[in-house]
């Protein structure tokens, strides 16, 4: 019974062109960022900003789930209603990131392993009681130089094992696991090293997930597209990125997986939405899983720039949020175009039939 419920929920969260809003930055990050926008770094201002994001009218048309921080999961809006309850009422499933961040991996200079397994079962059970429907765990891998062997087998293995233990515990506690395994875009590497690293990471991850007994149809993979590093001199087309990404996914990700959500929208810049759209226009045989988005950084920055802590500008900031969500939803349906994007950006043109 539990498996059937989780599988149905996982499939619902990636269906219909809706995606995931990542709003899980910790208080320390907000406190460091707010002053640049003239916003006081207080708990009340953090609450107001989260209410701005999560309370955007009509965002449920484009967003199926919201990743929250522990503080947000326990926090209420100005009228006293809990954010998690409000999201559920609007058809947006609240979830929470449960890892404890990364720490240096012994004997692997420059590499990290994600921590947070201690006491995880109890924390997952508590979050489920608070209304969460899913939980996320993020493992990242860095390519530090061409031909230097990074990410190492040690780093890949340690993170894959921890991710699999998380996923199994999440399902045991009645939550859909979002397993985030991402080769970071930082660096000057070309497409080939990224593809090689991505294939090694995902192959080992799914071996560990199988060993842990994780139900693949009741989990969602979060990962990045196969593209050159941010400092790479290599120039690639959208078709290049789409082709390599689908090749790597096809070689490593079982068809049973409920869906794939692409991360790092800020790294991809304006190309990200076009790449996601192009991927969803390819033959279904090349993409047997729903392909959607799990964005956050670029949307949060744009919303902050529009809001700047001024309650009179909340509506303006929410229009920015809705526009961002709308264009990514179109891409997840394979229907994005610059013309539709420009139309949606005009006042009063935010709704779609």
* Residue 311 belongs to domain with CATH number: 3.20.20.70
d(CA 265, CA 283): 24
- Total count of domains within the chain: 1
Q: Is 248 inside a domain boundary?
A: yes
Q: Is 47 inside a domain boundary?
A: yes
- How confident is the model over 124-174, as pLDDT tens digits? 999 999 999 999 999 999 998 655 678 999 999 999 999 999 999 999 999
Angle CA 223–160–208, to nearest 5: 110
Q: Is 353 inside a domain boundary?
A: no
Q: How does strand 93-97 pair with strand 291-295?
A: unpaired
d(CA 291, CA 68): 21
Q: Identify the three-state secondary structure at position 66.
A: strand
Comparing C-alpha atoms, which of 205, 112, 187 is closest to residue 147?
187
Q: Is 149 inside a domain boundary?
A: yes
Residue 298 pLDDT grade (very low, low, confident, very high; cuts 50, 70, 90): confident
Q: Is 223 inside a domain boundary?
A: yes
Mean pLDDT, the chain, whole residue set: 91
- How confident is the model over 228-282, as pLDDT tens digits? 998 999 999 999 999 999 999 999 999 999 999 999 654 456 688 999 999 999 9
Q: Is 267 inside a domain boundary?
A: yes
- How confident is the model over 30-82, as pLDDT tens digits? 899 999 999 999 999 999 999 999 999 999 999 999 999 999 999 998 889 99
Q: Is 253 inside a domain boundary?
A: yes
Q: Is 351 inside a domain boundary?
A: no
Residue 340: per-residue pLDDT: 60
Domain that holds residue 52: 2-344
């Amino acid at each position: 019974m539990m498996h059937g419920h989780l599988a149905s929920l996982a499939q619902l969260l990636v269906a219909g062109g809706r995606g995931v809003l990542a709003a899980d930055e910790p208080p320390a990050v907000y406190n460091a960022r707010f002053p640049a926008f003239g916003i006081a770094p207080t708990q009340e201002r953090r609450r107001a900003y989260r209410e701005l994001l999560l309370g955007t009218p009509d965002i449920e048309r484009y967003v199926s789930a919201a990743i929250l921080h522990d503080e947000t999961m326990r926090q209420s809006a100005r009228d006293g209603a809990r954010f998690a309850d409000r999201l559920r009422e609007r058809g947006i499933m609240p979830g929470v990131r449960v890892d404890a961040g990364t720490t240096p991996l012994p004997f692997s200079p420059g590499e990290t392993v994600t921590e947070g397994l201690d006491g995880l079962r109890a924390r997952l059970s508590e979050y489920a009681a608070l209304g969460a429907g899913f939980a996320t765990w993020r493992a990242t891998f860095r390519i530090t130089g061409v031909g230097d062997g990074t990410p190492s087998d040690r780093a890949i293995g340690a993170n894959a094992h921890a991710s699999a233990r998380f996923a199994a515990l999440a399902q045991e506690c009645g939550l859909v696991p979002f397993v985030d395994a991402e080769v970071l875009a930082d660096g000057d590497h070309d497409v080939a090293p990224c593809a090689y690293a991505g294939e090694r990471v995902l192959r080992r991850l799914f071996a560990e997930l199988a060993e842990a007994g994780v139900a693949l149809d009741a989990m969602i993979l979060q990962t990045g597209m196969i593209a050159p590093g941010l400092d790479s001199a290599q120039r690639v087309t959208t078709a290049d990125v789409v082709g390599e990404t689908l090749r790597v996914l096809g070689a490593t990700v079982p068809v049973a997986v409920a869906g794939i959500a692409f991360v790092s929208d800020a790294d991809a810049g304006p190309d990200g939405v076009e790449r996601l759209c192009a991927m969803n226009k390819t033959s279904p045989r090349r993409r047997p899983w729903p392909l959607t988005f799990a964005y956050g950084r670029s949307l949060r920055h744009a919303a902050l720039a529009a809001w700047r802590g001024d309650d009179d500008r909340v509506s303006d900031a929410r229009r920015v949020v809705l526009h961002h969500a709308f264009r990514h939803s179109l891409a997840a349906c394979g229907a994005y175009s610059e013309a539709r994007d420009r139309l949606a950006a005009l006042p009063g043109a935010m709704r779609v039939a």
